[in-house]
Amino acid sequence: MAFTKRLLIEPSESFLFTTGSSTIKISVLDQSPIRSGSNASEALNETIELARLTDKLGFHRFWVSEHHASGALAGCSPEVLLGRLGNETESIRIGSGGIMLPHYSPYKVAENFKVLETLYPGRLDLGIGRAPGTDPFTTAAIRYGSTTGPQHFPNMVCDLQSLLNDDNPITEGMEQARAYPKTQNPPSLWMLGSSEDSAFLAGRNGLPYNFAYFINPNIRQDIFQIYQDQFQPGPNHNAPYTCLTLFSITANSEEEAQHLAKSRDLWYIKLLRGDPGPFPTPEEAESYEYSNGELELIRQNREKRAVGTPKQVSKKLKMMAEDFNADEIMLVSITHDPIARKRSYELIANEWELTPIAA
């Protein structure tokens, strides 16, 4: 398959944070959490407000997730939400974290993101993943009888990459297909993952790689080295690029940050039981009677996140970036109080000395 080289240009250096000899970008993944006592409408509007804020604060990217049949996470259609977010922001890159590609036609995904790229040129990231993001019954409903599943994912990635770049898809019967509208540059295609398989696939397709540490914190620390060793230059990227996504809450005091994080402790336990529901208040989490096994799971999970004061969180993020040799850090911050969630990003932006957009 012949590729035409189209190197993507990233935004300015004002989005960077220097640690030692390396320069690390910092970004946001928002999952549109539904709080107990709230609803999906409020959750999506809180995501829009957060996008506006992080754009003004100087964060590098703002991604939204895809989850289905969830009473906890309202974002089931990233491409629809991105159409609104692009209009509400000025310079921050916006993207999907991510599109669960086995559910869909690569052709239709390419069309959707080419339209978004046309509307917001130079700002679109298309993060793709293999996981279903839901239960088997909902997966069957989404695919509606299609036999194309995760086993076809590598070919789907190649076809999507070709369609975004106006090249020939590799799948038989699709060779003459072209996705429109044509764009000056394609959206930036990313591989998302939480396993070694995704690292291999990202490298072999020449894609930037975002590792979901908040999903799989027990992965080996050389996961990015595996990716880099496998990297082959693709149509849009000459060199490997890595982003580490982890859970974080920043507050004025460590006590306050740990209090806010208790909501996720309880939600995490309910998620493991298959019944997460809306995000509880810290008080609901404090009154819950955990088993010894659940307390141990919470303890282990807490060690893998960055929660505390601005200096404590910044130190942890720097350490994580250095341990994994990451080019970029992406934060997932969920609190029951939406004001506390926004404040968390404000505090870390100030600590990292991000350059805010001039009013």
In a domain, 261, yes or no: no
Please report, for the domain that includes residue 188, its CATH number: 3.20.20.30
| Residue 331 CA from chain centroid, whole number | 8
Q: What is the C-alpha to C-alpha distance for residues 207 and 189, in angstroms, rounded to an integer?
A: 7
Summarize pLDDT for 330-351 with one digit per residue, the tens: 999 999 999 999 999 999 999 9
What's the number of domains the chain is made of?
1
In a domain, 235, yes or no: yes
In a domain, 108, yes or no: yes
- pLDDT at residue 18, rounded to an integer: 54
- Taking alpha carbons only, the member of 307, 268, 299 closest to residue 285 is 268
Degrees to nearest 5, angle at CA 299 with 337 and 67: 50
- pLDDT at residue 174, rounded to an integer: 86
List, in sequence order, every residue forming a beta bridge with 247; answer none if it has no partner: 332
- pLDDT at residue 12, rounded to an integer: 38
In a domain, 260, yes or no: no
Mean pLDDT by 10 residues, the chain (359 residues): 36 44 84 97 98 98 95 96 98 97 95 98 97 82 79 93 92 89 96 95 97 89 94 95 98 98 95 88 97 94 93 96 96 98 98 86
Q: What is the C-alpha to C-alpha distance for residues 292 and 289, in angstroms, rounded to an integer?
A: 10
In a domain, 158, yes or no: yes
Structural domain containing residue 202 = 13-250+309-351
In a domain, 340, yes or no: yes
Cis geometry, peptide bond prior to residue 149 (ω within 30 degrees of 0):
no
Residue 213, phi then psi, degrees to nearest 5: -65, -30
In a domain, 330, yes or no: yes
In a domain, 293, yes or no: no
Q: What rounded mean pLDDT belongs to the chain?
A: 91
- pLDDT at residue 181, rounded to an integer: 96
- pLDDT at residue 17, rounded to an integer: 54
- pLDDT at residue 14, rounded to an integer: 38
Longest dimension (CA), the chain: 61
Q: What is the C-alpha to C-alpha distance for residues 304 and 194, in angstroms, rounded to an integer?
A: 14
pLDDT exceeding 90 applies to what percent of the chain? 77
- pLDDT at residue 138, rounded to an integer: 80
